[in-house]
Structure 1
Amino acid sequence: MTTVGECWTIDVVVPDSGDPPVHERLLVEPLPEVHLRLKLSPALVGGAAAGDIVQYDQATATIQVVSRSGNVCVQMYHRGISTAALAQIEGQVKHAGGSVDGCDSHMLVLTFPVTAGFSSIESYVQALSVALVAEWMFGNVYDPSGEPLGWWT
């Protein structure tokens, strides 16, 4: 773990990422009882979103969600986003109560409150993916076998 201001970073292995495995560095806030709060939704690690409280196993470099924040993570793979387009996306996502948690040359990570509604989130993200010629998936809605996690019910 590395300290960044009041927060730490942890390196988490991306499941099924090959040999050697790929790691994602996640920004977390330390909490009592060895728990951590994710500050941003992960770009590659599935099953969690910003605000979730997790337990980190340093030996296996994995996280286990202890408590859900009520946020939905969207991971989008794109061919590139202009600065102007990103600013527009940030405004639209913020208007829906969400945030852009990460963006690089091929990846965009969005977080929405589940109270925005899955149909609204999906409609927005689907339209965005068409405009950006991108692929996307929910990062914390389905388990690795494709079954809904059901935490929102």
Structure 2
Amino acid sequence: MPGVTVEEVTEQVRLLAGLGAGGQLVYETVLVRTIEPGLHLVMGTPAFVEGIAAGDQIRVHAGGGFEVVRRGGNICLLVVPDAAPGSDDLSPLRDAFEELGGIVELPPDRRFIVITVPAAAGFDAVEAAIDAWTGPRGHHWEYGNVYDTDGNPLNWWLSDQTH
């Protein structure tokens, strides 16, 4: 998250990411900083837990559910490439999102890419940057915290919920 250092990470929480192919619950471990018991600042944008990004404040419930208390103003994008991209291939993507104030992250196995970018960059600029990189490569991307489960815009970027 822009402006937050890893040294500030104090804990991990296990959040419900959904149902797996066999109907079992799937969880993702998310880095957070505890603000008060049960209330956490999300430090790293999750890949598979939908609805949140780095900078959001969440209240965690039993079983891994959560509610967003306050938005941090960041958009989350997820890219699942067909093949693991090389470092040289990622440079244009990193450069494009760095210009927008965002960051590009991926695990060591490079099986997915998570992008965190301020909503203030604008959706047109964000989509132009991601489409310029994914389009020629045929990769699919999606927003992680822009739409609800029915595909309706959450519109949090239009409200006073962000700081």
Q: What TM-score does the superposition give when structure 1 sets the normalisation length? A: 0.88
From 15, 40, 44, the equivalent of 2:44 is: 40
- Provide the aligned length of Structure 1 versus Structure 2: 149
Q: Percent same amino acid at aligned positions?
A: 30
Report the aligned-residue RMSD: 1.8
What secondary structure is seen at the aligned counterpart in 1 of 2:135?
A: helix
Map 1:109-120 → 2, pairs under 5 A: 109-120=114-125
Taking the aligned partners of 1:88 and 1:127, their CA distance within structure 2 comes to 9
User: Which residue type is aligned with residue 46 of structure 1?
Assistant: E
Name the counterpart of 1:54: 58
Deviation (angstroms), 1:47: 0.5
Name the counterpart of 2:131: 126
Taking the aligned partners of 1:108 and 1:78, their CA distance within structure 2 comes to 8
User: Which residue type is aligned with residue 143 of structure 2?
Assistant: F
Q: Are positions 1:147 and 2:146 aligned together?
A: no
From 10, 13, 21, the equivalent of 1:10 is: 13
Taking the aligned partners of 2:135 and 2:31, their CA distance within structure 1 comes to 30
1:108-135 per-residue CA deviation (whole Å, 9 max, x = no partner) reads: 0001101100011011111211133211
The structure whose residues are more often helix, as a share, is 2
Unmatched 5+ stretches in structure 1: none
Name the counterpart of 1:66: 69
Taking the aligned partners of 2:69 and 2:106, their CA distance within structure 1 comes to 23
1:27-68 per-residue CA deviation (whole Å, 9 max, x = no partner) reads: 1111125311111111011101110000111x2112211100
Name the counterpart of 2:3: none
Unmatched 5+ stretches in structure 2: 1-5, 159-163
Taking the aligned partners of 1:85 and 1:7, their CA distance within structure 2 comes to 33
Q: Are positions 1:92 and 2:72 aligned together?
A: no
Structure 2 vs 1, CA of residues 122 and 145 (structure 1 numbering), >3 Å: closer, same or farther? same
User: Which residue type is aligned with residue 108 of structure 1?
Assistant: I
What secondary structure is seen at the aligned counterpart in 2 of 1:14?
A: strand
Name the counterpart of 2:85: 81
The runs of at least 4 consecutive aligned structure 1 residues that moved more than 6 Å come to none
Q: What TM-score does the superposition give when structure 2 sets the normalisation length? A: 0.83
User: Which residue type is aligned with residue 97 of structure 2?
Assistant: V
